[in-house]
Amino acid sequence: MNNSVANTGRLLGAALRALVVLTVLTGAVYPLAVTGVAQAFFHDKANGSEIKADGKVVGSSLIGQQGYGLDYFQPRPANGVGENSVNRQYTLILSGATNRSGDNPELIEWVKEAKAKVIKENSVPGYTVKAAQVPADAVTSSGSGLDPHISPQYAALQVHRVAQRNGLSVAQVRKLVDDHTEGRTLGFIGEPRVNVLELNIALRGLVEGS
Amino acid sequence: MGPVLAGVLQLLALIAALALAYIPLGNYLARVYSCDQHWRVERWIYKGIGANPDVEMRWTAYLRGVLAFSVVGVLFLYLLQRIQGVLPGSLGFASIDPDQAFNTAVSFVTNTNWQSYYGEQAMGHVVQTAGLAVQNFVSAAVGIAVAVALVRGFARSRTGELGNFWADLVRGTVRVLVPGAAIAAVVLVACGAIQNFSGIHEVGQFMGGSRQWNGGAVASQEAIKELGTNGGGYFNANSAHPFENPTPFSNLFEIFLILVIPFALTRAFGLMVGSVKQGYAILATMGTIWVGFVALMMWTEFAHHGPAFDIAGGAYEGKEVRFGVGASSIFATSTTLTSTGAVDSFHSSFTGLGGGITLLGMMLGEIAPGGTGSGLYGMLIMAVIAVFVAGLMVGRTPEYLGKKIGSREIKSAACYILITPALVLVFTAFAMALPTPAHSMTNSGAHGFSEILYAYTSAANNNGSAFAGLNADTHWFNTTLGLCMLLGRFLPMVFVLALAGSLAEQTPVPATAGTLRTEKPLFTGLLVGAVLIIAGLTYFPALALGPLAEGLAS
């Protein structure tokens, strides 16, 4: 009995030492080395791909923002994000999805409302949005709630509204959208998309310049 | 080009990349676990542990090593979370409550990475990098070690010796996972994943004002999270979060990382048992199921049946624009057919049948191709069962790789395949029967049941993904899911090692004209059938109550 207790103790001791040594390697040396390389060679990306407009940081090109006024292009809905419930000394965005299923009454309601809103907001004199024109990404929340992109279809649908409200021609705004439309990587990876923040920065530049 | 064609091309590109990596990585893995040279850094580590890496262990000693290392891992990670409040480098985040700390510690040590916490608000730098990410490495290395021990059981004869656990653990970490993850992490940073140790800082916003953002060693954790089929996200949104998975390319790359070791291990297996064709037969089984599931998933997600998706015009809820439906389908299938559980889109908002496919993927036992190591040993257990069934049909003593599958062997294999379904079904039944657990559901009806079934399936199979509508941060779920993860990880390992021990003791029987040729397509067909039928018979009633009911109603 004593013998087996001693053996177990020895084994647990070896296990603890193994964990400590491997923690030094994989929990300290590895992340620090990667951070060193990242900071040296990819400084901007490693720190969150921040973008500036007029010398001021206005966000990250990777992180979608909410709350653009109607003069600007609108992002996707984000019904799944929340605020932190612990460590309240900070005000953090909790990334996340709605996790509602396809037959969930609340989701059905959200989608209907979003669709009506998209149609109403973007139908301007001389241009009426039809229900069939509204793409799925315009009325659904993304996985992260921080999707920085919208589909080119959703951007195209907003062109008339944005042009009218900013006193620009439709052709000008359409060109802006085209310039900010990214195709699939190598022609087949991912989906075509428009970065809303970058598009709105360019829009603001165009309005201020004209 | 339409999204469907783009999805198919991404799948083909992924298959091509995996095929290119298969032989070199498989050969390398076989060498790592067969050579008798030690690297200098490994010698230092062995000195630190105080273990002699050249001592051979019988299955019981090997198992004791696995269990001791895991017990210490759970305790260490539990303590680290409990003292976070006073730990420097933790952003001033509070300590984690006992039940959640237990759940999380077990979750990461068992390679599950179920998360009942929100990463961005709960875990500081030290717990993430020196606690959670460390287990991402070593739990994967333990998985590979156990698989290698089983392979040695087939390869060796008239000995009970299965190798040295400490040597297998250290080699897997030092020679495979650390270099692989380091390269992958740099690729992810180049795509835009963040890698810094900033505190929570203000970032200016377009419409004025600013928001508080987390920094973090995200890319380094993301790389091993996928490569080690772990799946625990730095952020709550996991690989849907743009800082974890910034571009369409990084997305495809992460799917590649998830799959590359589990597939390549079949080559290492073939080499170690002296016939690469045996490895190809296992590979073909895994590949067939994986491709079949991906195709089904793409079909149902592009068809987008379901009231909300019909109105929206596509199943885009919970999916990111940059990935689209095609790549999200490949990711979801790959993460649930392995023990990963990372998500780039949220399974709860998939179509009813799509959600069912993610569930069924886990219910197969995560063997196509499965987790790092656990996929290979799970599939080899199924091969033993398939050989046994074939033996019954023709009335011969079944053999696999020259080893007799006698009563001792088949008992181990049978216990292995019974454990996880028992855990899943019993705990789900209790959760549904008791009054309070159901309060955690976000959705009601069939989908609500699926949320709970998914949680226990994910925990017992050590997957970690969720129908995340379920609020799992309750005493009940933290505790029972923790137990499921523990039992679902270590009981099967006991039987795998017991099987390995009895196989290694045998004298091989020479192949005769009557021996079932397990390297032939016929056997692959038999094995695919055995995998699908066993899981199907076990889980069909539960699936019918959840995803099938939902899918057929829409």
Query: CA A87, CA A108: separation in Å to the nearest integer?
Result: 34
pLDDT for res B88: 94
Over residues A25-81, the pLDDT tens digits come to 999 999 999 999 999 999 999 999 999 998 999 999 999 999 999 999 999 999 999
Cβ within 8 Å, pair B322-A76: no
pLDDT tens profile B129-163: 999 999 999 999 999 999 999 999 999 999 999 99
Amino acid B396: pLDDT: 85
pLDDT digits (tens, 9 = 90+) for B232-257: 999 999 999 999 999 999 999 999 99
- Best interface-test mutation with B: which of A4, A21, A103 has the largest number of B CBs within 10 A? A103
**Whole-number pLDDT of residue A148:** 98
Mean pLDDT of B224-236: 96
Mean pLDDT value across chain B: 96
Name the residue of chain A whose CA is nearest to B355's CA.
A101
Residue with tokens 């998939």: B350
For the residues B284-300, what does the mean pLDDT come to? 98
pLDDT at A1 over 60: no
Q: Would the pTM of this model clear 0.95, i.e. be above it?
A: yes
Q: Is A89 on the interface with B (CB under 8 A)?
A: yes
Token readout for B190 is: 């180049």
What pLDDT score does B291 carry?
Answer: 98
Residue B193 scores a pLDDT above 60: yes
Å between A170 CA and nearest CA of chain B: 23
CA closest to B252 among chain A residues: A189
With contact defined as beta carbons under 8 Å apart, do A149 and A196 qualify? yes
In this prediction, residue A182 carries a pLDDT of: 97
Over residues B418-442, mean pLDDT:
93
- Number of cross-chain residue pairs from A and B with Cβ atoms under 8 Å apart: 386
Residue B397: per-residue pLDDT: 85
Give how far A77 is from chain B: nearest CA, Å: 10
Q: Is B78 helix (H, G, I), strand (E, B) or coil?
A: helix
What percentage of chain A has pLDDT greater than the value 90? Answer: 95
Q: Which string of DSSP letters, residue by residue, matches B255-321?
A: HHHHHHHHHHHHHHHHHHTT-HHHHHHHHHHHHHHHHHHHHHHHHHHHHT-SHHHHHHTSS-TT--T
Which of residues B226 and A209 earns the better pLDDT score? B226
Nearest to A165 by CA among A193, A200, A133: A200
A102 to B309: CB separation less than 8 angstroms, yes or no: yes
Q: Tell whether A95 lies on the interface with B, counting CB pairs under 8 A.
A: yes
A96 touches chain B (CB under 8 A): yes
Cβ pair A147:B204 closer than 8 A: no
**Per-residue pLDDT for A2 more than 80?**
no
Q: What is the pLDDT of residues B50-105, one digit of tens each?
A: 999 999 999 999 999 999 999 999 999 999 999 999 999 999 999 999 999 999 99
The pLDDT of residue B110 is above 60: yes
pLDDT in tens, B326-350: 999 999 999 999 999 999 999 999 9
Q: Copy the structure tokens of residue B385.
A: 């069962």
User: CB of A193 within 8 A of CB of A151?
Assistant: yes
DSSP for A18-83 reads HHHHHHHIIIIIHHHHHHHHHHHH-HHHHTT-EEEETTEEEEETTS------TTS------TT-EE
* pLDDT(A210) > 80: no
pLDDT of res. B514: 83
CA distance B431 to B453: 9
How far apart, in whole angstroms, are the C-alpha atoms of residue B507 and residue B159?
Answer: 9
Q: Average model confidence (pLDDT) for chain A?
A: 96
pLDDT at B438 over 90: no
Please answer whether residues B205 and A197 qualify as being in contact, where contact means their C-beta atoms are separated by less than 8 angstroms: no
pLDDT, residue A103, reads: 93
Instruction: Say what the pLDDT of residue B239 is.
Output: 98
Of chain B, the end-to-end C-alpha distance in Å amounts to 29
The yes-or-no verdict on residue B469 having pLDDT over 90 is: no
Range of the domain at B242: 3-204+212-553
pLDDT at residue A163 greater than cutoff 60:
yes
pLDDT value for B513:
84
Based on the structure, what is the number of domains in chain B? 1
Q: Which of B549, B470, B422 is nearest to B115 (CA)?
A: B470
